[in-house]
Amino acid sequence: MKKIKNDKEKILDLLKKHGYNTSSYNILSEDKKYFFSEQKIEGVIAYVDIANTFLVAGDAVCSDSDIMQFVHEFRKFCKKNNKDCCFQAISKKFKDTLEIMGFGYIKIGEEPFFDLTSWNLSGSAFMTLRNHVSYAKRNGLSVVEYKPKEKRNKKLEKQVEDISKKWLKKKKTGEFSFLVGGPSFKEPGDRKYFFVFNKKKNIDAFLVCVPFFARKGIYFDIMRRKNNTIKGTTELLITETFQMLKEDGCSLASLGSAPLSDVTSDKEKRQFIRQVFKFAYNNLNYFYHFKPLYHYKQKFGPTFWEPKYLAYYPPNFKPKYIFTILKAYDPGGINDMFLTSIKTIWSKLKNVKNIK
């Protein structure tokens, strides 16, 4: 236990120096294994072992100048253990280095960023959003930051737990992991919590945010609400949180990736990779509600979008990577039948070979 605690402290220090990826804080969760350099490189790679693949959670956490050497060392570690090497949800700058190293890659989604120093709700484009926020306020909803480090409220935390249970039941999934965190009220760390209260002072929705230190930003990690909440509840939660973060001196926020939102625009890749991801986009909506996520986040008017990538070595794409990723996020909800389905689709696309 002492070693685990020491590793976590070491990783947190590394995140504060080199945590560029927006979801990097969540590598601290318990489902990960950690790779540290034997060549005295200051860094960490967090990964899980699924389907003979070491699947890495985001970018390697190290300085830009060490990325190539550190990844080369990890790739040798994968080969020694007879594992494929796969990096999930990586930034463009990290992908660019892996591309030079001979990794295959594909775009898997886009992430909206908000410059809080300039973002506001003015203009005709936000008229509907403003109306929803105003409606929520008129119906007595308000947003408050909860600070468990200062004083915990077990009653409120129980309400958050109940909302989560009902949310997951409705979505027909288990609690996500890998690059998705949790409330973690017992060990809040650097998390920020925001609650929507109704007229009765009960919680209707909540939001958990985590930092990505290297860009001095805040990542919206988890947002959940009760069923049948007042129109504008989550819109109020997001816009009020933006304002409170801005007042705290935060200048950059991310609502998190919209998975598989725009993979077909990646023209470097051939037809069958696009088809497999298109299948996931169109037929696995129950799993992560891909389509609504993209359109929902877009309506808040992001300042800019950044692509997210999957990179893999050897550089030939394998259908098991989709299974590996979804299994990492929802260990209890994805079974081997899904892998069989993906392989069937794969085998029907016969005209493409040696895809990189």
Q: How far is CA 2 from the centre of its chain?
A: 29
CA angle in degrees (0–180, nearest 5) for 119-120-121: 140
Q: Specify the number of domains making up the chain.
A: 2
For the cut 80, the answer to whether the pLDDT of residue 120 exceeds it is yes
Identify the three-state secondary structure at position 103: coil
pLDDT in tens, 27-45: 998 889 999 999 999 999 9
**What does the alpha-carbon distance between residue 203 and residue 265 come to, in Å, rounded to a whole number?**
40
pLDDT in tens, 281-336: 555 544 455 556 778 899 999 999 999 999 999 998 887 888 788 778 776 666 66
**What does the alpha-carbon distance between residue 200 and residue 46 come to, in Å, rounded to a whole number?**
43
Q: Do both 149 and 221 map to the same domain?
A: yes
pLDDT in the model for residue 107: 86
Whether 167 is covered by a domain: the verdict is yes
Q: Do both 181 and 275 map to the same domain?
A: no
CATH of the domain at 199: 3.40.630.30
> Would you say the C-alpha torsion 45, 48, 54, 56 has a positive or negative sign?
negative
pLDDT in tens, 66-98: 999 999 999 999 999 999 999 999 999 999 999
Q: Do both 245 and 141 map to the same domain?
A: yes
Q: Which domain holds residue 149?
A: 114-254
Question: Are the beta carbons of 180 and 326 closer than 8 angstroms?
Answer: no
Average pLDDT, the chain: 86
Identify the three-state secondary structure at position 150: coil
pLDDT in the model for residue 79: 98
Per-residue burial over 304-337, b if 16 or more Cβ lie within 10 Å, else e, is ebbbbbbbbbebebbbbbbbbbbbbbbbebbeee
Q: Do both 138 and 92 map to the same domain?
A: no
Helix (H) or strand (E) holding 286: helix 285-288
Whole-model pTM: value is: 0.88
Whether 6 is covered by a domain: the verdict is yes
Q: How many CA atoms lie within 13 A of 12 on its CB side?
A: 12
Whether 263 is covered by a domain: the verdict is no
pLDDT band of residue 176 (cuts 50, 70, 90) is low
CATH of the domain at 19: 3.40.630
The residues with which 210 forms a beta bridge, in sequence order, are: 219
Q: Do both 105 and 124 map to the same domain?
A: no
